[in-house]
Structure 1
């Protein structure tokens, strides 16, 4: 193998048939050697070979367990907190045994590597501020949806998790899911920001889509997000409230893994509607129909090891430089940024 060859975390995840979160966990624990190039983590080919050789000899076989969902997921149009938490329960009973967050730190000298999960650009800004303000932490980014992020935290594979999950029964964001998915843990929930979510539609809104009930119109094709993402949960909860079935909507089973992917598909005319946040619509040229204001929160586990981390994150969220940088991004409401929403 070429000694100058290196791989991204995504390429390694595909080669080993594991999730990107598991790759980040291996790096975090020092099992897989990696280095940063700009905002991207890379692993040299010889370091990957060394890890694989060790895994084959039985040295770290447990680390190859993935946090990807098992084959028996809920039905595609299943919705609501119960449906998604049943998926989490199935994952919790999979091969990798859940544990009370034993891997709280991977140390390189006095620097602790932390994994931040989520897809919003505000998390990249947070990571940058952590690097500039603290010598105690080295942030790694993992791009996972809200549900998978919480499951990763339950298994000890993530340190800071972002979530925007609507519970249709209570109208409350995040807390109902966190309570169910982080059973047995003590945790702190801090608000990152609020943002507007709604429909992406084609210019001029030719299908005249104004509200959730309009998704029941005939001839509508949707560009959907992946199961477990906040946008997918929002859609499914609203369909449930309207007594609509996702499987009756064309394109419901076609999944994109980002707001940009959904918005771009609609803008290109390959779908009539998608669900997502306001910012992506303006970046790709789709029209945006605002429908809800969603709360985007951060979750951190309360342990003696995490006291400094929680204090650092709250300090950054409440700082003027961080808030000023977020304020420059369209569609963000920072009125509650840094507020402790819930503490278990």
Structure 2
């Protein structure tokens, strides 16, 4: 029976992440391999029994595997401020006094800084002694928490979507550039490291850097998205920037990222390729430490350009000069993959609930989101 066009699933992604072939899954679920193939390709709509068996075999809920593509509900809401006309924008909704109010997620509001609730209070008697903790949260919450290190605000968005879908799940995101995130993963401080590092020698992303930092520890790379990286410039692009070579103009001032960040690595790679010395760039040593700070500097300071993503340009109302499409991956030690909260967080990667959010940001390609792009042993 032909599947209805709006029914979607991410069985293949979850199965592949768990290292299962179609035949393996078929045996565990008690169905035929042909049924697995048909469901994954959308040629076969499974019965309730088959759907439940597949969910049980993969350790998740039916809702994690299947969804209707066109099940969005249309509502009306009142804006809390003037909003852009003629192009879509992201927003948050809240009911106040019986009215649905829309809060546009634009500029600073798109990447709001929040005070993070604490799980307890700690103290140390000396530099070498362990931290003593007075716990304020329920102990079981600690086993429901996934820790991520990375630099893109999209990690926070992913976490919020997952926590909404799994109310018991907690995601703690700490900011770190790509190399620092890998070192935190190596030190056992986080479950997942977000990385976007290009290796010109192999013309590939992330794999060589994971091997360099993590050595022979078995690791998988799962794609979060392919994003457009380039120059953020002021609205209207008053300096008419179109290429990296123009940054050598002494009248052009940039802002740069710290060593270890993917954005700085991309800038240095392109400058070297164009045979432009770093000291020929005004502002090369002016360092900020996040994508958001790059956008803020270009928008509000006497800065002409900085390397970041199209999503940041869109959120801050800046123009964008594309330079390269980059792959942002999630490095995860294979030892962590079976843990329930890690699986819950990863399940959302293949779901339209996250894909819709990423696409709306601008400059994100979700065609590989949730796919295992490399296994490193």
Q: Do Structure 1 and Structure 2 share a fold, with TM-score over 0.5? A: yes
Are residues 1:170 and 2:173 paired? no
Change (3 A) 1:233 1:57: closer
Gaps of 5+ in 2: 1-112
2:126 maps to what in 1? 56
Tell me the matched-pair count: 260
Deviation of 1:224 (Å): 0.8
2:16 maps to what in 1? none
Deviation of 1:305 (Å): 6.8
Q: For structure 1, which segment, 225-234 or 113-122, has the greater mean C-alpha deviation from structure 2 after superposition?
A: 113-122
Deviation by residue 1:219-266 (Cα, 9 ceiling, x = unmatched): 321111122111111111111212222223121111112223222322
In structure 1, C-alpha distance between the alignment counterparts of 2:206 and 2:139, rounded to whole Å? 31
Deviation by residue 1:27-73 (Cα, 9 ceiling, x = unmatched): xxxxxxxxxxx9642449xx64xx33x3339531799xxxxxxxxxx
Give the alignment of 1:299-314 within 5 angstroms.
Answer: 299-303=331-335, 306-309=338-341, 311-314=343-346
1:119 aligned to which of 147, 151, 155: 151
Change (3 A) 1:304 1:148: closer
Note if contact 1:264-1:286 (Cα within 8 Å) is conserved in structure 2. Answer: no
Note if contact 1:111-1:137 (Cα within 8 Å) is conserved in structure 2. Answer: no
Note if contact 1:199-1:290 (Cα within 8 Å) is conserved in structure 2. Answer: yes
After TM superposition, the score normalised by the length of structure 1 is 0.67
Note if contact 2:150-2:174 (Cα within 8 Å) is conserved in structure 1. Answer: yes
Change (3 A) 1:57 1:332: closer
Are residues 1:275 and 2:350 paired? no
| Larger Rg, first or second structure (1 or 2) | 2
1:41 maps to what in 2? 116
Change (3 A) 1:309 1:245: farther
Note if contact 2:248-2:282 (Cα within 8 Å) is conserved in structure 1. Answer: no
Gaps of 5+ in 1: 1-37, 64-105
Q: For structure 1, which segment, 126-135 or 271-280, has the greater mean C-alpha deviation from structure 2 after superposition?
A: 126-135
Give the alignment of 1:222-301 within 5 angstroms.
Answer: 222-268=254-300, 270-301=302-333
1:334 aligned to which of 334, 347, 366: 366
1:74 maps to what in 2? none
Note if contact 1:111-1:135 (Cα within 8 Å) is conserved in structure 2. Answer: no
In structure 2, C-alpha distance between the alignment counterparts of 1:272 and 1:127, rounded to whole Å? 33
In structure 2, C-alpha distance between the alignment counterparts of 1:310 and 1:174, rounded to whole Å? 21
Change (3 A) 1:134 1:201: closer
After TM superposition, the score normalised by the length of structure 2 is 0.62
Cα RMSD (Å): 2.9
Q: For structure 1, which segment, 112-121 or 161-170, has the greater mean C-alpha deviation from structure 2 after superposition?
A: 112-121
Q: Secondary structure at the match of 2:162?
A: helix
Deviation of 1:308 (Å): 3.8
